[in-house]
Chains A and B, each alone.
Chain A
Amino acid sequence: GQQVMQIPQYQHVQEGEDFTTYCNSSTTLSNIQWYKQRPGGHPVFLIQLVKSGEVKKQKRLTFQFGEAKKNSSLHITATQTTDVGTYFCAGYHRSYQLTFGKGTKLSVIP
């Protein structure tokens, strides 16, 4: 079946360090979405990438969609304590079934 693998599962960084989470799909995606879930909260939509090789930025966050549309990454520059949470990628396959990765839990040490 369709799978979306996300690594790492956990990441602990010192405040100010960079952070990257990677998402890989077993099949080509029509688009990919990223969500952030704060501790105790529910996933909040961050962004959607559609085009092959697309790169989008939101302040300190950089999102990339691979050329083959099978992988994606989220990079945070100079992490802050407000970045703490779990980041999920979710990919849409041709069947319009949204498959979520298991998430990367980010801890930021002040």
Chain B
Amino acid sequence: GAVVSQHPSRVICKSGTSVKIECRSLDFQATTMFWYRQFPKQSLMLMATSNEGSKATYEQGVEKDKFLINHASLTLSTLTVTSAHPEDSSFYICSARERTGADTQYFGPGTRLTVL
């Protein structure tokens, strides 16, 4: 149980386009989802925390107009990278916190974004 999926797993896009990444909790309800970014072989960096039905909380230095997060339901959060540029190329990982187990967090497999 407690599986988190992400789609797509890999995406390549042209500079200036927008890319949407989906994060789903498959067998549990997640009131809170987290979005992370990771550069190759570097530490995970928290971008934002999203709570179902409310606006996401962004970490310092993360542009909220650049990285749009929508947590529309208890099983789905989306991250949209708007007007992507090559420097946005990275590995994006989501995680979900169970409704009943506040300290338990499950990670998705990640999405590799490459902007040409």
Question: Which residues 68-110 in A have Cβ within 8 Å of B in the complex?
Answer: 86, 88, 90, 92, 96-100, 102-103, 105
Docked-complex contact A97 and B46, CB < 8 angstroms: no
Tell me the bound Cα distance from A29 to B49 in angstroms.
29
For A42, give the chain B residue with the smallest CB separation: B46
Majority SS of interface residues in chain A?
A: strand
Is A28 an interface position by the 8 A CB rule? no
Is A43 an interface position by the 8 A CB rule? yes
For B38, give the chain A residue with the smallest CB separation: A98
| Count of chain A residues near B, Cβ 8 A | 22
Q: What distance in Å separates the Cβ of B68 from its nearest Cβ neighbour in chain A? A: 20
Docked-complex contact A39 and B112, CB < 8 angstroms: no
| Count of chain B residues near A, Cβ 8 A | 23
Tell me the bound Cα distance from A88 to B34 in angstroms.
16
Interface string of A39-76 (1 = CB under 8 A from B): 11011010010000000000000000000000000000
For B45, give the chain A residue with the smallest CB separation: A45
Docked-complex contact B9 and A97, CB < 8 angstroms: yes
Is A25 an interface position by the 8 A CB rule? no
Interface string of B91-116 (1 = CB under 8 A from A): 10101000000111111011010000
- Can you report 17 residue pairs joining A to B where beta carbons are below 8 Å apart? A31-B41, A35-B44, A37-B105, A39-B103, A42-B46, A43-B36, A43-B95, A43-B105, A45-B44, A48-B41, A86-B103, A88-B107, A90-B107, A92-B41, A97-B110, A98-B38, A102-B2
- Residues on B facing A (Cβ under 8 Å): 2, 9, 34, 36, 38, 40-41, 43-44, 46, 49, 91, 93, 95, 102-107, 109-110, 112
